[in-house]
Chain A
Amino acid sequence: MAEKRYVRAVNEALCEEMERDPAVCLLGVDVGAPGGPFGATRGLRERFGPQRVRDTPISEAAVVGLAIGAATLGLRPVVEIMFMDFLALVMDQLVNQAAKMRYMTGGQAKLPLVVRTQTGYRDSAGPQHAQSLEAWLTHVPGLKVVMPSGPCEAKGLLKAAIRDDNPVIVVENRTLYALAEEVPDGDYVLPLERAAIKREGRDVTIASIGIMVREALAAAEALAERGISCEVIDLRSANPLDLQTVRTSLEKTNRLVIAHSATRCGGVGAELAAALGEEAFYMLDAPITRVGAAFAPIPFSPPLERAIVPDRTAIIAAVEQVLAP
């Protein structure tokens, strides 16, 4: 086991999968010679050649379309969409094409295709480079969506996504790219559809995803000093949601806070809250509380951004709220 940065874990996952399976290939703006805007694909073009690691024009929709055609003929393309906000450019290809291709052809098509993209967190990237838009994707049958919260997840989930025979969108977080943690050596693959308990606790369950797992852990640490015991769940997958893991935790805690960096309105947390409201209502001792961004674009100026995008403070306040007598 060695300590690795998040972005290095991504790079290793890509490299190992390309090594393992010649059908895996990379496509995207700047992924080849430049090694990706954040270095996620560094060295891969040199290693696997320009045919398998292809720099593309800024033609995102066509590039995802290309990946669809290539996947249909047996390649396993991994497309990089540089910023999650740019998913808007490829929505027809994702929603009307990739997601529906298998269904629409009555099972004739199989689409082993990965779209890697990334969002950020409080880094003044401005309104068009900072939004978390995973809820757009989770609404669409036929797509899987995962959000790695650290180096281990970055590696394990990406490897699983590449091996999956369905379109999978992997939403990385650039704010975590420099974060280093121990990552198991060898062929480390995580299941795509299972949440993980990151910290055990008795009093409140915090179901979080992406970078908010970090904030939830920090909140739990602070609350522990006050004698409040939080169980922190990393949902990992935004779709499908692992309701079972959350429900099992609720049997113990009976209180739930949901945290994500996307807007609360129509977010993944809304689906989770609704599903658990239907299935686990009688386990709850308090209303489910959601922490998420306010309903506004992400502003550039740091104080404004902090006003819109929540952190551990908001999670602590939410925990206090669900514990209030």
Chain B
Amino acid sequence: MPAEEIDRALARRLLATMQLIRAFEEAVRDHFAARHIPGFIHLSIGQEAVAAGLASALEREDYLYVTHRGHGHVIAKGADLKRVAAEIFGKASGYCRGRGGSMHIAAFEVGVLGANGVVGAGLPHAAGAAWALQLQGRQQVAVAVFGDGAVNTGLFHETANIASLWRLPLLLLCENNGYAEFTPLSVHAAVESVAERAAAYRLPAWRVDGQDPLAVRAAVREALGRVRAGEGPALVECLTWRVRGHYEGDPQRYRSSTELEEAVAHDPLRLFAERLRREGLLNEAEEAEVAAQARQAVAEAIAYAQEAAFPDPASALEDVLYQPSGAG
């Protein structure tokens, strides 16, 4: 695919997004370990380049459905970090008023329409949103983010078939981190390449290095070029590395120390920063400044979330159903 001229502003923006996600995930990791956060947590450390590259190629008005490992995408799409953090801490000012938590952060104001805790279940929602866009004659696209594990669900195949058949404005974006929870790709998939499986539904597909935000961005831009032109859905498979366990507290006994070292060695932040320095697009002072800004924003968001009020228990029954009177 044609390489995009890397401009300084774009490079900095991508790095800043990745730094922000990393700083946020590390803060969540620490506060979860300190038992400040209830429930369970799935972190995207090691996968930040996918979220940053994807979001940089989307318009604010485009719609996004993400997964249980979705903090990064929500942040990259431009959600308010404070409200993301507040949701994870179970607070009333969180995006979902404390009803969803880490696995379910939806931020409609920036187009994130859902984050699913059931693997593969959000895929048809994105296709349905795309169908609505098609029917309403709107120009946006819908994107479904999912992992390699989701490709083995029936819903992946049902959705891919329908989307292709109806030429929906849908991008299927697979974060292939090599693991479906605790189970490696070699054990869970007969065909290693998700892009290859997309071919069965005549979906044009790209398979890219998910540790490189520019590669992700380039593939998504090219895919979306076709999608926006009305040529139907496309799939981008990003090969990435999950550094942390499936959930926080998962000791990852199913991975060798060599493999874990390799995952860390593929750190997208370090690789990208090194490249930018090599190409003269970033100096050490600028890199430090970007990182400091990210840490500052995260510290403010976490402080906000910690101080924010819990939801009133009396509100627990609100929003079970939509009530036109506004009663909840």
Interface on A for B, CB 8 Å cutoff?
Answer: 25, 51-52, 54, 56-57, 59, 61-75, 77, 92-93, 96-97, 101-111, 141-142, 144, 165-166
Give the distance to chain A from B170, nearest Cβ to Cβ, in Å.
Answer: 10
B161 touches A65 (CB 8 A): no
A105 touches B108 (CB 8 A): yes
B121 touches A105 (CB 8 A): no
Q: Which of B95-120 contact A (CB under 8 A)?
A: 95-100, 104, 106, 108, 113-114, 116-118
**Across the two chains, which residue of chain B brings its CB closest to A59?**
B158
**Across the two chains, which residue of chain B brings its CB closest to A167?**
B321
**Across the two chains, which residue of chain B brings its CB closest to A62?**
B158
Interface on B for A, CB 8 Å cutoff?
Answer: 63, 65, 94-100, 104, 106, 108, 113-114, 116-118, 121, 123-136, 142, 154-155, 158-159, 161-162, 165-166, 318-322, 324, 328
Bound complex: CA of A70 vs CA of B123, how far in Å?
12
Chain A residues with Cβ below 8 Å from B126 are: 69
Nearest 5 Cβ contacts at the A-B interface: A69-B128, A65-B124, A106-B97, A62-B158, A106-B96
A66 touches B94 (CB 8 A): no
Interface centre among B65, B158, B159, B165 (most CB of A within 10 A): B158
Known: A57-B162, A65-B121. A102 touches B128 (CB 8 A): no
Known: A108-B106, A166-B322. A69 touches B154 (CB 8 A): no
Give the distance to chain B from A21, nearest Cβ to Cβ, in Å.
Answer: 13
Give the distance to chain A from B78, nearest Cβ to Cβ, in Å.
Answer: 16
Bound complex: CA of A93 vs CA of B123, how far in Å?
11
18 contacts between A and B (CB under 8 A): A51-B135, A59-B158, A61-B158, A62-B127, A62-B155, A62-B159, A66-B124, A68-B128, A69-B113, A69-B129, A69-B130, A69-B131, A70-B128, A73-B63, A73-B136, A96-B121, A102-B322, A106-B106
A66 touches B127 (CB 8 A): yes
Bound complex: CA of A54 vs CA of B135, how far in Å?
11
Known: A56-B162, A61-B155. A97 touches B98 (CB 8 A): no
B121 touches A93 (CB 8 A): yes
Chain B residues with Cβ below 8 Å from A66 are: 124-125, 127-128, 131, 162
Chain A residues with Cβ below 8 Å from B128 are: 65-73, 77
Chain B residues with Cβ below 8 Å from A103 are: 99, 319-320
B132 touches A165 (CB 8 A): no
Give the distance to chain B from A191, nearest Cβ to Cβ, in Å.
Answer: 13
Chain B residues with Cβ below 8 Å from A111 are: 322
Give the distance to chain B from A162, nearest Cβ to Cβ, in Å.
Answer: 14
